[in-house]
């Protein structure tokens, strides 16, 4: 895809989220731009993640995730969690653990 198209897509107004996932002691997070409500009863969300993504196995095995909503001034956070890394994506971030074990970013809106 041409670079200018990616630049335009990055500027689209839409929600940007960091999805925190975990299974046992393993934790990770990734930037997602597609989260939507899929059911009211029981309350459920749908999100897009490629089966080849490193976090896919954690989400699948753990069965839970945390949706960290980013504000308009959180572009650096979105970029950090969008960038592929072998390990340690959470090491430089301020976060705490949800009851389900998934990471919640301290700087997230909700």
Strand partners, 19: 30, 67
The overall average pLDDT reported for the chain is 83
Sign of CA dihedral 7, 20, 59, 65: negative
Considering only residues 107 and 88, tell me which one the structure prediction assigns the higher pLDDT: 107
- What tens digit of pLDDT does each residue of 4-25 get? 655 644 544 467 889 999 999 9
Model confidence, pTM: 0.81
Q: What is the Cα–Cα distance from 68 to 109, expressed in whole angstroms?
A: 7
The answer regarding whether domain 14-105 maps to CATH 2.30.110.10 reads yes
Region 85-94 average pLDDT = 82
């Amino acid at each position: 895809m041409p670079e200018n198209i990616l630049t335009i897509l990055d500027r689209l107004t839409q929600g940007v989220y960091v999805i925190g996932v975990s299974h046992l002691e393993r934790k990770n997070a990734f930037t997602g731009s597609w989260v939507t409500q899929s059911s009211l009863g029981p309350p459920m969300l749908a999100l897009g993640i490629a089966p080849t993504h490193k976090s896919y196995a954690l989400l699948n095995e753990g069965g839970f995730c945390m949706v960290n909503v980013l504000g308009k001034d959180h572009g650096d956070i979105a970029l950090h969690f969008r960038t592929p890394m072998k390990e340690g994506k959470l090491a430089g971030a301020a976060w705490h653990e949800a009851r389900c074990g998934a990471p919640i970013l301290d700087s997230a809106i909700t």
